[in-house]
Structures are given as C-alpha cells and as structure tokens.
Amino acid sequence: MLTVVWVDELDGQTIAEVRELLLAAREVDGRPDLGPGEELPGEFRTGPHLLARSDGTLAGYAHLDPGGDAFGRQVAELIVRPDHRRRGVGTEMVSALVERAAGAPLRVWAHGDHPGAAALAGRTGFTRARELLVMRTEVDPAWPEPRLPESVALRTFVPGQDEQAVIEVNARAFDWHPEQGRLTVEDLRAEEAEDWFDADGFFLAEDGTGKLLGFHWTKVHPANPRRFGGRETGEVYVVGVDPGAQGGGLGKALTLAGLRYLRDRGLPQVILYVEGDNAPAIAVYTRLGFTRHEVDVQYER
C-alpha cells in the first residue's frame, strides 16, 4: 500500500530515512551530491517535504520550494528509490505536487536527464522547459595567465568585507537568472560557513578606484564514486561580471584565474554549469577545453 503525505519538518529518524534513500539513488544515478558528513543537501533542509511510503518503506521523497525562483515559479525536486521505480510512486508524488502548487506555475528538476523522468513528465502533463548543461574538462597545463583589461586588478575575497559588493554585482549580472540573481548577503555568509568554502579561490576584479567589476567563485567537490570518474573535482562555481564591464574580456580573465588556481591545487578535472541556451558562454567555455558532459532538465506545468 502506497501513502503520500506532506510534512513541514523532518525528525531525526525521517532525516536518516531520506538520507538513505538519497544515497541509494546516488548509487544508481550519481545524484544527488552529498558532502562528507552532510545529512541532507542544503536545498532539502527546510520544508515542505513530501514522503511516499510503500508498506512502511520510504519509496520516494520530494521537496517543494514554495518561494520559487526569481520569476514566481514553484520548484520541486523529486526522487524515487531505485528499487521502487516503475510502480506508480512518481506519478502519485507528481499529483501531490501539482495539488500543493494550487495552480501556480510549477517546475520539477530531473537531474541527469533520466529517461524515466521524461516518461513521467509526459504522462503527467509537464513539458521540457529548461536545460542546465554540465560541462567538464581535464586540467590543462597550458592555461595562460589572465589578460586583464587596463587598470583592472585581481585580488581574493575577504570575508566580512566584500559580501555587499559581490551581491550587488551578482544581482546586476544575473538579473535574468531563475536562481542566482536572488542571492543575498545572508545566503553568501551561510555559504562561507560551509566546509568547502575557500576564500583563496574566490577572485575579485576591481578597477583603479577599488570598484568591484566582477568575480569568479570556485568550489571543490569530493570524489563521487558514481560521477566524474570517481575523482575529486573543481568547479567554476559562479563567474559574474557587472553589465557595465562586459565585452572587454574580463569574464575570460576571471575564468582563467580560477582555472589556474584549481589546477595548482592538484585537481585533475573541472566542471561548470551553464544554461543550455547561453550560446556565448558555451562558446567561451568550449574554447577553454570544456565539453558537454551531463544535462539537468526542468519540466514545467
């Protein structure tokens, strides 16, 4: 018997059940990523949560962000335990998500563009709305020194000093983006508290007056046995350039600064995420050696 219920908070036992389900999915799908010692991914730490149980076993889990993205769409993550797939669990959970959204636009992530997710979307009236590409490259010993525009200098991020300036540039650079443009100072400070945060890998570009023009924030992922060859992986986490400073090569220079830093840390490979319809960015990354590796999809209803 399948039961599907919403809860606003997860207790300790349920957190352990959800974590076990996520790890089981990761063994098959390579997703989701879980840091060492991390109970749940950050986006799953607040409710509401949807729990699907089959004869007492947690067969599926979904998380809904009712605050949604920057354009008012509610966004959900949905994961079915691998040994309970093709049994109607996903269909029941999608119905519960649609009901909870109460007619508001709803998007659901399918990480890795799983064919089962495509089939589920088709059965439940969702259409493919967004592609987020994962591009990857081996580190290149020939990555050149960044060539900065005249009177522009690079330095690294100083916690407690640079948050406001970064957020202001980020908001202008990503006013079109469903998630990134909503980053706040509080969000940034929360990221600084994470074990992976590395101020030395967070590069800022300033003009001669000290005004921030752009930044490149890098990240390092521990080895995932089901993803990227099971090797530790660097990431071009965010490259943001103020619109007034775009077009002069600053984005490429910032990208190279971060790539060289990740290479010098001894990482064997680097990934990045880029919108599938952002042709100029994809062209820049392709010239730097990146190739398409995976795709994440949002389905919309």
Does the annotation list 219 as a binding residue? yes
Contacts for 85 with CB less than 8 Å, ≥ 6 apart? 116
Does the annotation list 91 as a binding residue? yes
Location of structure tokens 């400070």: 189
Does the annotation list 86 as a binding residue? yes
Does the annotation list 251 as a binding residue? yes
Does the annotation list 284 as a binding residue? no
Does the annotation list 28 as a binding residue? no
Structure tokens at 48: 């509401």
Does the annotation list 88 as a binding residue? yes
Structure tokens at 106: 């709803």
Half-sphere exposure of 156 (CA within 13 A, CB side): 11
| Cα separation of the two ends of the chain | 28
Does the annotation list 237 as a binding residue? no
Number of H-type helices and E-type strands within the chain = 7, 12
**Counting every residue, how long is the chain?**
301
Does the annotation list 247 as a binding residue? yes
Does the annotation list 201 as a binding residue? no
Does the annotation list 87 as a binding residue? yes
Helix, strand, coil tally for the chain in percent (to 5):
35, 30, 35
Half-sphere exposure of 226 (CA within 13 A, CB side): 13
Alpha-carbon distance of 159 to 182, in angstroms, equals 20
Does the annotation list 108 as a binding residue? no
Does the annotation list 248 as a binding residue? yes
Alpha-carbon distance of 120 to 90, in angstroms, equals 7
Contacts for 60 with CB less than 8 Å, ≥ 6 apart? 4, 21, 50, 51, 52, 78, 79, 80, 81, 84, 89, 90, 93
Does the annotation list 179 as a binding residue? yes
Does the annotation list 240 as a binding residue? yes
Residue 120, strand partner residues: none
Does the annotation list 161 as a binding residue? no
Alpha-carbon distance of 136 to 130, in angstroms, equals 20
Does the annotation list 246 as a binding residue? yes
Alpha-carbon distance of 262 to 269, in angstroms, equals 9
Does the annotation list 160 as a binding residue? no
Does the annotation list 241 as a binding residue? yes
Does the annotation list 68 as a binding residue? no
Q: Which residues are annotated as a binding site for acetyl-CoA?
A: 78-80, 86-91, 239-241, 246-252
Q: Which residues are annotated as a binding site?
A: 78-80, 86-91, 179, 219, 235, 239-241, 246-252, 273
